[in-house]
Every structure is written in structure tokens, then in C-alpha cells.
Amino acid sequence: MKSRQKSTIYDIAQKAGASPSAVSAALNGKWKQRRLKKETVDRIQRIAQEEGYMANLQARGLRKAESGLAGMVLPDHENRFFAELSQQFAKEAHARGLCPAIVHAGRDADAQLTSVESLIAYSVDLLMIAGATEPLSLASACSKARIRHVFVDHPCSEAPSIVTDNTGGAAMLTKTLLDEMDMPSETDPTTWLYFLGGESSLPASADRIHGFRQQAEAAKVLFDPGQILACGYESEKAEEALSDLYSRLGQLPAGLFVNSIGCFEGVLRFLSRLPEGDISRSTFGCFDHDPFATLSRFPLRMVRQRADLMVEEAFRQLDKGTSEACLIRVAPDLV
């Protein structure tokens, strides 16, 4: 008996009532660019599966000099924001028929560069870089290899960059906390609102500090440089900084703006050692979001960065082949 002849893209086009180019777009993940209807794509993909059709991705990659890999470098998998970025990246990559290759490189600049160079060596078709410590060196490596690339979270002056509106988000959280506090007194540091965590040398923290300072100055409640405690992102450092502040004041401050969920973990560890009465007198906010944190034993305001919208916009820039530097800010939500 003769083996069944393999279906071609033209056979599928005929059965689906679509053009061969539409079938190709539906099967290689580029149907969004073609603006095909979702029901058309679903019909084409169902018929292709029934016919046992599968494009030879390896051969196609050799012909087009494409690997079918989409690379992403990010500093942390445990942080919920970066985890959401990773999940959204994988979703968008799969929608384009690409296989996501995601690397956790930490915040060390050399480790990030090594990770980028390794992904380039595997001939990734594109690169999304989140939380870059030294973005210019990473952009240079991508440009030399002619790899489409975009930066997320931390911007780059020589590439498309999608970031949270950190200044606006911080100002929004600062205003909310001040509205919920009694009016601070210049002569009583225990009544002040303090900013805790992050690194002032990094763009995201610098913008959040700027938003905090801007709003606090507008409300005439920024009295001392010591209200801003940029102690780093490690939870241990945040715990230590809050412990030192508590020792100086003899109690918790009236308000605390915590810069990142990692720092908030350190804050929670310190608070777990205090009586309920000490905690209830303070107002807390965090520029980051974790649904479990809302179950804490005190009221908590949180800022949720829109990882979904940031990744969608980043892929929009990649799909367009944008290489010119641009900075797009995505507004966060207050929850």
C-alpha cells in the first residue's frame, strides 16, 4: 500500500477556504501582523492538526537564517513582577510561533552581558532585556549581532525601552499614604513619611525617589534627607534599615513607603517581632504587588506594575523592527 501523501500548505488553504499566505501566517505565529480573525486562525490550525501537517521549523530556520528562539534576560525569577514579565514574554513568544529561552542573570553587569552573548550565540531571533544594570554594553552586543532587541523595566538610551511610570506611580502612592496619615510635624520625626529600599543609582529607584520627593515637597512634608533610606533591594538590608530607624525614633514612623516586594519581606520580618499596638499606629505602602501581602495584619497600599501591557508594547516594537531609541512609560495601578 502506498503511504498517504503529506498535506501541503495549499491543501490546508483549500480546505480552510483561505489563501496560502493566510495559512502560513496562522501556522508561523504571524497572524496578528496580518490582522487575521481569531476564528480563521483556529480553523486553519485545527485543519492542519487533523491533516498531520507540521512545518519543518529547522529547515525553515536554515532557509531564513532564523532559529525560532526568542531570548529574554532578567535579574530574578522569584520577584513577582519579573515572574509576570517572564510569563507574559513566553505567552507572546508562543503566539508568534517562537520558543522562549529565558535566562536569570541576577543584577551583576558581567553576568548579564555573558547571558546576552550566550543567547546571541544560539542565534535567537530577538532579545528582551529586563532590569539591565549596564544597558549600553548589552545594546552594543545586540547591535553588533544585528539582533532585534528591546529593554524593559530599566531603559537604554540607544534602544527601544518600555518602563513603568515610576515617577508618577511613586507620587500617586506617596499622596495616598499622606492622605491616610495625620499631618506630619517638622519637629517630630516619628510623624514623618519615610522611603525605604532600592538603589538611587538605578533608574527605577531614582524615578521613584523623584516621585516621592516631588509629592512630599508639594505637600510640604519633606523635612530631612534622612527620610529617604535607599538601602538596596535585599530584604536583609531593608530589615536592618528599618530596625535602625525604629531604634532612632523609639517607635515605627507614622508612614512607610517600601520600594519593592523584596524590601517588603524584610519589613515584614521586622514587624513580626513587634506588638500589634506598635504596628497599628503606622501607615504602609509598597511599590510592588503580591496578592498574599494583602493578607497582612495591617492595612497596606500597593502599586501593581502592568507587566502584561509592558511586554505587549515591547513585542509591538520588536514586530515593527524598531531600532531607534525611544522611551515608553506604562502607568501602574494602585491596589
- What is the per-residue pLDDT for 65? 53
- What is the per-residue pLDDT for 5? 58
Answer yes or no: do 284 and 322 share one domain: no
Place of cell 539591565: 132
75, part of any domain: yes
2, part of any domain: no
25, part of any domain: yes
* Between 233 and 60, residue with greater pLDDT: 233
* Between 330 and 80, residue with greater pLDDT: 330
Is the pLDDT at 57 greater than 70? The verdict is no
Is the pLDDT at 61 greater than 80? The verdict is no
266, part of any domain: yes
Indicate the length of the chain as a whole number: 335
- Percent of the chain with pLDDT strictly greater than 70: 93
Answer yes or no: do 297 and 322 share one domain: no
CATH number at residue 26: 1.10.260
Answer yes or no: do 311 and 299 share one domain: no
1, part of any domain: no
Mean pLDDT on 204-210:
95
Answer yes or no: do 153 and 170 share one domain: no
pLDDT digits (tens, 9 = 90+) for 104-155: 999 899 999 999 999 998 889 999 999 999 999 999 999 999 999 999 999 9
- Percent of the chain with pLDDT strictly greater than 90: 67
- What is the per-residue pLDDT for 9? 78
Answer yes or no: do 176 and 296 share one domain: yes
Provide the domain limits for residue 46.
9-55
CATH number at residue 171: 3.40.50.2300
Give the model's confidence band at 24: pLDDT under 50 very low, under 70 low, under 90 confident, else very high. Answer: confident
CB 178 within 8 A of CB 255: yes
- What is the per-residue pLDDT for 4? 47
Question: How many domains does the chain fold into?
Answer: 3
90, part of any domain: yes
Q: Where are the extended beta strands (E) located within the chain? A: 69-74, 99-104, 126-130, 148-152, 160-164, 193-196, 228-229, 255-258, 283-286, 300-304, 326-330, 333-334
Closest C-alpha among 143, 139, 121, 140 to residue 129: 139
Answer yes or no: do 197 and 314 share one domain: no
Is the pLDDT at 54 greater than 60? The verdict is no
Is the pLDDT at 2 greater than 80? The verdict is no
Rounded CA separation 263/238 (Å):
5
229, part of any domain: yes
Answer yes or no: do 294 and 316 share one domain: no
Answer yes or no: do 297 and 194 share one domain: yes
For 234-279, the DSSP string reads: -HHHHHHHHHHHHHHHSS--SEEEE-SHHHHHHHHHHHTTS-HHHH
- What is the per-residue pLDDT for 115? 95
Angle, vertex CA 178, rays to CA 276 and CA 194, nearest 5: 70
Rounded CA separation 261/239 (Å):
12
Answer yes or no: do 75 and 19 share one domain: no
Answer yes or no: do 231 and 113 share one domain: no
Is the pLDDT at 3 greater than 80? The verdict is no
19, part of any domain: yes
pLDDT digits (tens, 9 = 90+) for 279-288: 999 999 999 9
Answer yes or no: do 108 and 195 share one domain: no
Answer yes or no: do 19 and 134 share one domain: no
- What is the per-residue pLDDT for 194? 98
Is the pLDDT at 62 greater than 60? The verdict is no
Mean pLDDT on 242-260:
97
Mean pLDDT on 304-320:
95
Mean pLDDT of the chain: 90
Is the pLDDT at 60 greater than 70? The verdict is no
Mean pLDDT on 42-61:
69
- What is the per-residue pLDDT for 273? 94
Amino acid at 181: M
